[in-house]
Chain A
Amino acid sequence: KAGVTQTPRYLIKTRGQQVTLSCSPISGHRSVSWYQQTPGQGLQFLFEYFSETQRNKGNFPGRFSGRQFSNSRSEMNVSTLELGDSALYLCASSSLLGTGGNEQYFGPGTRLTVT
Chain B
Amino acid sequence: DQQVKQNSPSLSVQEGRISILNCDYTNSMFDYFLWYKKYPAEGPTFLISISSIKDKNEDGRFTVFLNKSAKHLSLHIVPSQPGDSAVYFCAAQPGGGADGLTFGKGTHLIIQP
B residues near A103, Cβ cutoff 8 Å: 34, 46, 49
- Size bracket of the A interface: 20 to 34
Q: In the complex, which residues 47-65 of chain A have their Cβ closer than 8 Å to any Cβ of chain B?
A: 47-48, 56, 58
Whether A108 lies near B100 (C-beta < 8 A) is no
Whether A45 lies near B102 (C-beta < 8 A) is yes
B25-36 interface code vs A (CB 8 A; 1 in, 0 out): 000000111101
Do A99 and B106 form a contact, CB below 8 Å, given A56-B100, A92-B43, A106-B43?
no
Give the most central of B43, B95, B104, B106: most A CB within 10 Å. Answer: B43
Whether B106 lies near A101 (C-beta < 8 A) is no
A68-101 interface code vs B (CB 8 A; 1 in, 0 out): 0000000000000000000000101000111111
Whether A101 lies near B93 (C-beta < 8 A) is yes
Residues of B within 8 A of A (CB): 31-34, 36, 41-46, 49-51, 89, 91, 93, 95-106
Additional 13 contacts, C-beta under 8 A, given A33-B101, A101-B31, A107-B43:
A35-B101, A42-B89, A43-B89, A56-B98, A98-B96, A100-B95, A100-B96, A101-B34, A101-B50, A103-B49, A104-B101, A106-B36, A109-B43
Residues of A within 8 A of B (CB): 4, 33, 35, 42-48, 56, 58, 90, 92, 96-109
Sample (14) of A-B pairs whose CB atoms are under 8 Å apart: A42-B105, A42-B106, A45-B100, A48-B100, A58-B99, A90-B43, A98-B93, A99-B32, A99-B97, A100-B32, A100-B93, A100-B95, A105-B46, A108-B43
